[in-house]
Structure 1
Amino acid sequence: MHKPITNHQLHALMAEAGYDRSHAALARQVSRAGATRYGLVLRYDGASVYWWLRGRCPEQPVPELIAAVLGHRLGRPVPIAELGFARLAQVPDAETLVFPGSLDAAVTASAALWAKLSRPSADAAQPFVPAAAVDAGWRWHFDPPDHDLARSGSRRVDTDDVERLRTCQDQFLDLDRRHGGGHARTFLAEFLSRDVAPMLRGSYTDAVGRELFAVAAELTGTLAFMAYDAADHAAAQRAFTQALRLAKAAGDRTYGAHVLANLATQAIFLNLPAEAVRLSRAAVEGAGRRPAPAVAARLHTTDSTACALAGDLPAFRAALRRADRALDRDDGTGPSWARYFTPAHLAGTAMRCLLDLDRPAEALTHAGQALQLAPGNARTRALHTALTATAHAQAGHIDQAAALGMRAAGLARHLRSRRVQARLATLARALAKHQACRRPATSLK
C-alpha cells in the first residue's frame, strides 16, 4: 500500500520540471551532481525520491543538489526553502545557514543575507544552531576548492575596486572596535548589499576574483562579529558561515580559520563547550602549517578559551603556551585583520579562562598586561576592565572591584555592545554576593 504524498511543494516542483513520472531520472541527476560538485558517491534511486515526497529530508548537501537539478531544468534558481522539507523549514533563513556548494550559490546566499541584515528586524531571538556551525566547519575543510573564479557580467571589476573595498574594511573594523557592534552593522550590511553584491555578479579575471572574494569574506566576517557583539546570534552565525564560504572561494585558508575561530568564540559565549572545542580545533588545524604568528596566536588563544570552558585545565595551559610562543614570534607582518591581536588580548583571554576555572588569584597576575591596550580598542578596554573588576570581586578585593567596576560602567556608556553589558552583569552578580557592597553592585546593573 502506497503512503500518501506529504511534501506537496517538492511534488509540484517535480511536476513543473517534468520529473513527476520519472523519479529515477531525478535521482540519477542528483547523484551525478553530487559526484561533479563534491566528489561524492551517491546512489539515490526512485525509492529515494518516493521517501523525499513523503517527508524524509536528506542530509546536506543533498537538498542543495536537488534544488540545483530542478533549477537547471526549470531555467531559474530554486531556493532550498521551496523544496518543502519540514526539517529545513523549521530553521529560519535555512539557505543562509548552510555552507553553499557552488560559487553561484555562495553569491546568492551572501547577497540575500546582506539584503536581509540591511533591514533592521525584531527577530534577533532566533537561535544559534550548533550542528550547522560544525557542518560549516567540516565542509570548509573538505569540500573541493573552486578552480576558476573568472566571471562575465555587466560590470567590470578590477584591482582598484578591490583596494577601495579594503579601505572600507579597515574603516568598518575601526568603527566596530571603537563603538561596538551595534553602531554600524546595518550600515555595513547596506554597503555589502548595495556595493559588493553587484561586484560579485560582475566581470573579472580569476586573479581579481580571488581578491574580490577575499575582501568580501573579510567584510562579511566583520558584519558577523558586529552581529555577535550585538547579541543577534542567528544573524552572526549566518554571516560567519557565508564569510567562511567566501574565504574558501578566495583560497584564503588563514582568514577562513579566523572565521571558524570566531564561530568557536560565539559558541563559547553561548556556553556550548563541546562545539567550541570542535570548532577551535578545526580552526587551528585548518590554518595550515605556518600561519602568520599573530594568526596562530589568535587561533590557539581561542582554543585555550574553549578548553577552559570545558574544564580541561591541562589543555587550556598547553594552548595558552602555544599562543604565547606564537605571539613572541610576531613581527607585525601578518594580515591586517590579525594585527589587532596583542599581548593585552592574550592576557585578557588568560584572565577570562582562569576565572572560568575558578582561579581568580592567578587571573589577577595577568591584569596589568590586559589593560595595556592601544587607544582604538575601546570595547576591549571596557571588557578587560570589567573582567579585572570581576577577578578582584571573586578574590575578595571588594574596594578594587567596585572602583574598577565604576570605571568599566563609564566606558560602557560610549559603546553599543551587548557583550560589554553581559560582562558588567557578571561583575554585578559577583559584587552582589558581598552584602557590604550591594550599593556599588546595583549601580552597575
Structure 2
Amino acid sequence: MPFPAKPLKPEAGPVEWFGAELRHHRIKLGLTQDGLGQKVYTSGATIGKIEKAQRRCSLELAEALDAALATGGVLARAWVLTVPQPDKRCAEADKDLPSSRSSADSDRITLTTEASGTPGASMQRRTFAAALGATVLSAAVPLVQRIDDVSTACLDMARHQSVGASDVARLHAVHDLYQSLDHQFGGGAVKESLERVTQAASTLLNRTHSEHVRRPLFTAVAKLRLLAGWTAFDMCDHYTGQRHFAAAERLALSVGDFNLVAFVRYRQARQLQHLQHNLDAAEVLRHALEDLQPEPAVRGTRAMLHATLATSLAAIGSGDAACAMLDLASDEFDGFSFESAPEWLGWRSRGELYAQYGRVYRDLARSDSRFGQQAVEWTSRAIDGFDDGMQRSSLLNQTGLASAYFLAGEPTMALGVAERILTARDSVTSGRIGDRIANLHRDAVHWKGTPEVTEFLRQVDSLPTRAAR
C-alpha cells in the first residue's frame, strides 16, 4: 500500500508554494512522481523533493514541467518568485520616489511597521494581518514578505518609460501568486494590495513597447484586472468588481483573445448570479458561447460556460433546460484534454463542474423535495474534487451541502456540516461565504420549529456583517 502524500504548506513560502503548484498540476493529470519524472528526464525522488520544498527547481526543469503538465507556463513564471535573492529592481524599490509623487502614493511603497521599524519592510503586512488573522498570518509571513518584494517592484515599474519581456514575465508571476492566495485564503487576503499593483500595471499600457510585447503585455494586465475584479466580487464590492471586469474584457478583445474574453464573461455572470440577476447572467453567458469557435481547444471553456448557464436556467424555473445544459457540459468536459485547454482552466476541475450540478439540483429541490438527495450527492462530489489549495471553493460548497441536507429532509446532517463551516470560516476572508451562510435561513425554514435549528439560526444572525456590498 503506498504511503499517503505528505501534506503541503503552500503558505509557508515561495518554494513551498511552487511545490504545491507542481503537485496540483501533476495530480490533475493523474501522474505519479515517477511517471512525471520520466517525462522530464529526472527521477521521481527529485519531483517529490521539489513538491515538498526540500529542493529548488531550476528554470530549465520548470519549463520542462510546464510542457509535460500543459500548465500554460505557470511553473516557469512561478520560478521567478523562488530565486533566493531579490533582483536589483526589488532592492531599489524601497528608495524614495521622485518628489512629484504624492505623499500618499509614497506611503503605498514604503510603509514602516511598528514591529520591525524598518522602512519598506512591508507594503501590505498590516492589510494581510487584518485580512487573514493572526493564526493564518503567522504561517504565511515568509510568503507575504516575498509578495512585498515583488509587488513593490511592480509598483516601481510604473515609472519606466519602456516595457520589455522581463516586465511582462514579472506581471504574470505576480498574477499567479495572487491567484493562489485568493483561492486558498479568499479575496480579502489580497484585494487591497492587488488593487495597487493592478493600477500600476495598467499604466504600462501607455509606455513604449515593441509590437511583439504588445499582446502578452495586454493579456497580463487583463488577467490582473480580471483577478482584481474577482477578489472585489468575493468581498462583495460589486462596483469595483464590475469596473475591473469591464476593463479586462476590453483589453482581451483588443488583442483578440476570445478564450480570455469568455473567462471574463464567466466571472461577470457569476457575479450577476450572486446578485440574483439570473436573466442578465444567462445573456452574458450566451454571448460568451456565441463568440467561441467550435474547435476542440475550447471544449473545456464551453463546458464551464454551459454548466454555469444551467444554474441560471434552474434559478429562473427552467428545470428541464437546465438539466439538458448540464448534460451538454458533461459531454464537452469528457471530450477535452487539459493539454490543449486555455490557461484559465488550469484551476478548474471536475469538482467545479459538479459544483454547478449541485447548484442546479438545490434550485430544483426548492420546488420539488424529490431532488434533494441528488443535490446532496452532487455537492458532496464537488467537495471531494477540490484540493487543499482550493479552500474557499470547498467552504462555499460545504455551505451548499448544508442547504442540500435541509432540502433533502435531513436537518441533523445539515447542522453537522454547518457547525464545521462556522468553525472554519475565519480561515478564509470571503464575503460570499458570509452571504451563503446567511442564506441557509432560506432552506432551513421548514425546520425552524426544531430547537437545534433555531439555535443554529440564532448563531447565524449573530455573525458580524461585512462592510462592503
TM-score with structure 2 setting the length: 0.60
Deviations 1:238-296 (A, max 9, x none): 11111000111122111101111211111111111221111110111112222433322
Deviations 1:316-353 (A, max 9, x none): 11221122122213432223322111111111111112
Aligned: 1:350 with 2:350: no
Q: Which residue in the other structure is 2:278 paired with?
A: 273
Pick the aligned partner of 2:204 from 177, 190, 199: 199
Pick the aligned partner of 1:263 from 265, 268, 278: 268
Pick the aligned partner of 2:316 from 310, 328, 334: 310
Q: Which residue in the other structure is 1:283 paired with?
A: 288
Using a 3 Å threshold, how does the CA distance of structure 1 residues 205 and 272 change in structure 2: closer, same or farther? same
Distance 1:309 1:431 in 2: 18
Aligned: 1:254 with 2:259: yes
Using a 3 Å threshold, how does the CA distance of structure 1 residues 283 and 364 change in structure 2: closer, same or farther? same
Pick the aligned partner of 2:187 from 167, 181, 185: 181
Aligned: 1:219 with 2:201: no
2:455 is matched by which residue type in structure 1? R
Distance 1:279 1:292 in 2: 18
Distance 1:176 1:154 in 2: 28
Superposed displacement of residue 154, structure 1: 6.3
Aligned: 1:363 with 2:372: no
Distance 1:428 1:278 in 2: 29
Pick the aligned partner of 1:404 from 395, 412, 417: 417
- Cα pair 1:432 1:438 within 8 Å, conserved: no
- Cα pair 1:402 1:441 within 8 Å, conserved: no
2:379 is matched by which residue type in structure 1? A
TM-score with structure 1 setting the length: 0.63
- Cα pair 1:406 1:444 within 8 Å, conserved: no
Superposed displacement of residue 387, structure 1: 0.4
Q: Which residue in the other structure is 2:60 paired with?
A: none
Using a 3 Å threshold, how does the CA distance of structure 1 residues 220 and 418 change in structure 2: closer, same or farther? same
Using a 3 Å threshold, how does the CA distance of structure 1 residues 193 and 310 change in structure 2: closer, same or farther? same
Pick the aligned partner of 2:174 from 168, 171, 177: 168
Q: Which residue in the other structure is 2:302 paired with?
A: 296
What 5-or-longer segments of structure 1 have no aligned partner?
Answer: 1-114, 119-152
1:439 is matched by which residue type in structure 2? E
Aligned: 1:329 with 2:335: yes
Superposed displacement of residue 365, structure 1: 2.5
- Cα pair 2:357 2:379 within 8 Å, conserved: no
Distance 2:422 2:343 in 1: 30
Deviations 1:56-98 (A, max 9, x none): xxxxxxxxxxxxxxxxxxxxxxxxxxxxxxxxxxxxxxxxxxx
Three-state SS of the structure 1 residue aligned to 2:422 is helix
- Cα pair 1:264 1:306 within 8 Å, conserved: no
Aligned: 1:379 with 2:395: no
- Cα pair 2:354 2:382 within 8 Å, conserved: yes
Distance 1:438 1:289 in 2: 51
Three-state SS of the structure 1 residue aligned to 2:404 is helix
Match runs of 1:5-44 below 5 Å: none
2:228 is matched by which residue type in structure 1? L
Q: Which residue in the other structure is 2:16 paired with?
A: none
Match runs of 1:46-65 below 5 Å: none
* Percent of matched pairs sharing the same residue: 26
CA RMSD of aligned residues (A): 2.0
- Cα pair 1:428 1:442 within 8 Å, conserved: no
Distance 1:238 1:197 in 2: 13
Three-state SS of the structure 2 residue aligned to 1:214 is helix
Distance 1:403 1:432 in 2: 17
Using a 3 Å threshold, how does the CA distance of structure 1 residues 285 and 441 change in structure 2: closer, same or farther? same
Superposed displacement of residue 410, structure 1: 2.0
Distance 1:322 1:314 in 2: 13
Q: Which residue in the other structure is 1:442 paired with?
A: 458
Distance 2:285 2:411 in 1: 35
Distance 1:259 1:351 in 2: 23
Superposed displacement of residue 219, structure 1: 0.7
- Cα pair 2:186 2:231 within 8 Å, conserved: yes
Three-state SS of the structure 2 residue aligned to 1:289 is coil
- Cα pair 1:220 1:243 within 8 Å, conserved: yes
Q: Which has the larger radius of gyration?
A: 1
Superposed displacement of residue 430, structure 1: 2.7
Deviations 1:393-432 (A, max 9, x none): 1111011000000112222111111111111112244335
Distance 2:230 2:209 in 1: 29
Count of residues in correspondence between the two structures: 295
Three-state SS of the structure 2 residue aligned to 1:444 is helix
